[in-house]
Structure 1
Amino acid sequence: MATLNETADNLAAIIRDYRSGEVPEPDRNHVLKWVSQFAEAAQLPILTELCHVFGQTYLSKDKAKQFLSGVFQTADLAGQDQCAFWANANIMDIQLGGNSQSEVRDLFGTVLEEKCGFGLDGTGKAGDVFIYLDDGIFTGNRVRRDLENWLASAPAKAQVHVVAFAVHRGTYFAQNELGKAIRESGKDIAVKWWHMIHLEDRKTYTDKSDVLRPVSIPADPRVQAYVASMKYAPHLRAAGQVGGLGIFSSDTGRQLLETEFLKAGAKIREDSPLLGESQRPLGHMTLDTLGFGSTIVTFRNCPNNAPLALWAGDPWYPLFPRKTNSTTSFEKSFGSWD
């Protein structure tokens, strides 16, 4: 069995390009400092399980580019003359919060340059096909709001393709609301979704979920207090499941992360009173739950839908220091502080 140091090295290698150029490259010491915040007996098992999980759910820049290259040449999307399709397509830049769309657009622009000899400036020659790019889609509400705001300027008839590396199935509510807004606009707009990984997170399918959903509430005072403050009892999953995608190595490994991240998240909330109510122990969620529980992290950022234990800061030491949407919105308008 690998040692703690060896496993820390392995995890650091998986996430090595996280926010490259913005934060120091993750190394053994960084990983060990983060995991030292957990009970000693849990540290090696946590890192071991995360090596398995992030081996599948961490999206490096190379993996992202490979996916976008695949999207470029998908016949069901771009047909047989891909360069002609992408020259006509409108690559949308309409995201109201955050910088993920701009960064994914830029990466796709490099794919276009390599494949066709033109970049983003060479697209948008026709007016009826629109491409909405993003890295991860969780509740789907941001996509919904962006497209609803776009409807006023949209043509009378259009095809929109939403393309993301990871899409969670719980977006059905946002998709339905977007459909209503389109119908109310009186315009003929169709929306199709494309993804690399499709994760189950719907409450009805909790036992088949691909996100963190505890099987029980640990006998931890902070967790117990948090659960007592909830309006409804948390919805728990049945033990023995690793999810349809097999993101977790075993139910034992999955339960370890669920329990330890839940305990750490409750502690972080207690120690960080400025966290909003929706910043729940297992990740951002408007609904009164234990949290979203996503394990998707990309080279450019960690979503707040991931457990607090992965990204929260001061006094907690984060594995993934997170760039917030407010920071990137400022940079879009006025430039970076640097």
Structure 2
Amino acid sequence: MKNIIHAILEYKLRPTYVIDEQSARRHIEHWLNQFDKKYQEAIITTMDQIMGCGLFIDKERYINMCSTKAKDPVLTNNDPRAYWAKTFILDCQKDGKSQKAMVEILKEALLKENIAYCQDERKAENLFYLDDFAFTFGRISNDITNLDNSKKISICPIVLHSYNEWYFADHHKEINLLHCLRLENRACCKNQSEVFWPHIKCMQNNIFKEKFQAMGLCDSYLRDTPATGNNQVFPNEDARIMCEEAFFIKGAEIWSRLSDEKKKIYRPLGVVPYRRGWGFGGSVFSYRNCPNATPLVIWWGSYSPLSTFNWYPLMIRDGYSR
């Protein structure tokens, strides 16, 4: 549990009572005890692996990932001063605060290196868009709609996902797309996926099967063989299957209580980018916020005992209502 404890202590939106390892452990156990006991060991095993394999971006790593873009050889073609002198750093994100924070870090890194950047978008030859996570690329697509296409545009999320990267790149061939970390989520590679993606064995559980079929989901898209290769995100296949089963079942219970409007946006494993999907199944987090593309059981609900949400989250998220 040590990796989950570290993540919770780093997390900006943790409960106010969480101030040390002991209180972090109590918080995690409070969340965990909402699941049937038969699932709890598998959930802790899986989540601890995720938090410990680099998919929880703590503050130090977050700053480092942003700062290193200042002298990134691929982005700058091995000439940072020449590149940034002609490049305007975008701060155009319509939803969220991640880009503003990341741009500030990048600009501080450039200042420290005594590298000047273009401060007038009209005079710039290049535009640079920095963000933390890219799941569906929906937000990025909206943000860049009105950009000047005569300029060379580079987009760099810290983490992106293979299918959505391919789809976005295929529709925006003129854009230079970079990243620090890529996670596998293509249907053709479902058995090597690095997101939460339930296994066909879950259909042996009648509760899972009932909720799955009630949503009109198709079991042919479920994983059907153990992960092949060296999956650093989910090395314990048995624990993964149990964890995904638990997250879907409890997530479906949460989903059933959502408004009709929210049901169109979310499914048990997070925001739903595909028609009739079970949710994105995101497996990456940062110290600043929990993405809505991750399973509902992780972020939905309230820390308050007086809440009517009827769910205590592990990492409550800050939404876009600003």
Residues 123-272 of structure 1: matches in 2 within 5 Å? 126-150=123-147, 154=148, 157-171=150-164, 172-179=166-173, 190-216=174-200, 217=203, 219-221=205-207, 224-230=210-216, 232-233=218-219, 235-241=221-227, 245-272=231-258
Q: Is the 8 A contact 2:42 2:240 kept in 1?
A: no
Q: Which residue is 2:304 aligned to?
A: none
- Partner residue, 1:18: 11
Describe the shift of the 1:16–1:148 C-alpha distance in structure 2 as closer, same or farther (beyond 3 A).
Answer: same
Q: Normalising by the residue count of structure 1, what TM-score does the alignment of the two structures yield?
A: 0.81
Between the two proteins, the alignment pairs up a number of residues equal to 305
Post-superposition CA distance 1:225-268 (Å, at most 9, x none)? 34233164461112310676521122112212211111111111
Task: Give how far 1:116 is off.
Answer: 2.2
Q: Which among 74, 77, 91 is matched to residue 76 of structure 1?
A: 74
For 2:268, the equivalent position in structure 1 comes to: 281
Distance in 1, matches of 2:290 and 2:87, equals 29
Contact 2:125 2:151 in 1 (8 A): yes
Q: Give the superposition deviation at 1:80.
A: 4.0
> Mean alpha-carbon deviation: is it higher for 94-103 or for 313-322?
94-103
For the residues of structure 1 that align with 2:30 and 2:184, how far apart are their CA atoms? Answer: 32
Query: SS at 1:304's partner residue?
Result: coil
Q: How far is the alpha carbon of 1:273 from its aligned partner?
A: 4.1
2:311 counterpart of 1:323: no
CA distance in 2, matches of 1:87, 1:15: 40
Question: Percent sequence identity over matched residues?
Answer: 25
Tell me, in whole angstroms, the C-alpha distance in 2 between the residues paired with 1:121 and 1:131.
Answer: 11
Task: Report if the CA contact (8 A) 1:283-1:306 is conserved.
Answer: yes
Structure 1 vs Structure 2 CA RMSD:
2.6
Contact in 1 for aligned 2:69/2:106 (Cα 8 Å) = no
Supply the AA of the counterpart residue of 1:293.
G
Unpaired runs of at least 5, structure 1: 1-6, 180-189, 331-338
Cα distance in structure 1, aligned partners of 2:100 and 2:118: 14
> Which residue number in structure 1 is paired with residue 35 of structure 2?
38
| Structure 2: gaps (5+ residues) | 302-308
| CA distance in structure 2 between the aligned counterparts of 1:227 and 1:21, rounded to whole angstroms | 35
Work out whether residues 220 and 263 of structure 1, in 8 Å CA contact, stay in contact via their aligned partners in 2.
Answer: no
Is the partner of 2:91 in helix, strand or coil? coil
Q: Residue 245 and residue 72 in structure 1: after superposition, are their counterparts in 2 closer, same or farther (change >3 A)?
A: farther
CA 115–245 in structure 1, closer or farther in 2 if over 3 Å, else same = farther
Rounded to whole Å, the distance in 2 between the matches of 1:83 and 1:15 is 39
Quickly say closer, same or farther: Cα 1:114–1:125, change in 2 above 3 A: farther
SS of the counterpart of 2:288? coil
Change (3 A) 1:273 1:222: farther
CA positional deviation for 1:57: 0.8
CA deviation profile, 1:23-52 (whole Å, cap 9, x unmatched): 665712211111111122322331122111
CA distance in 2, matches of 1:114, 1:278: 42
3-state SS of the aligned residue for 1:162? Answer: strand
Query: Are residues 231 and 36 of structure 1, via their aligned partners in 2, closer, same or farther at CA, if it must alter by over 3 Å?
Result: closer
Paired with 1:208 and 1:200, the residues of 2 have a C-alpha distance of 7
Indicate how the Cα distance of structure 1 residues 208 and 105 shifts in structure 2: closer, same or farther if over 3 A, else same: same
TM-score (norm 2): 0.85
| CA displacement, residues 155-212 of structure 1 (integer Å, 9 cap, x when unaligned) | 5x22111111101112233333345xxxxxxxxxx31111111111122221221111
- 1:305 aligns with 293
Aligned partner of 1:291 in structure 2 is 279
Aligned mates of 2:294, 2:314 — CA distance in 1 = 12
Give the secondary structure class of the aligned counterpart of 1:310. Answer: helix
Q: Give the Cα separation in 1 of the matches to 2:15 and 2:102.
A: 17
Aligned to 1:90, the other structure's residue is in SS state: strand
Q: Is the 8 A contact 1:207 1:241 kept in 2?
A: yes
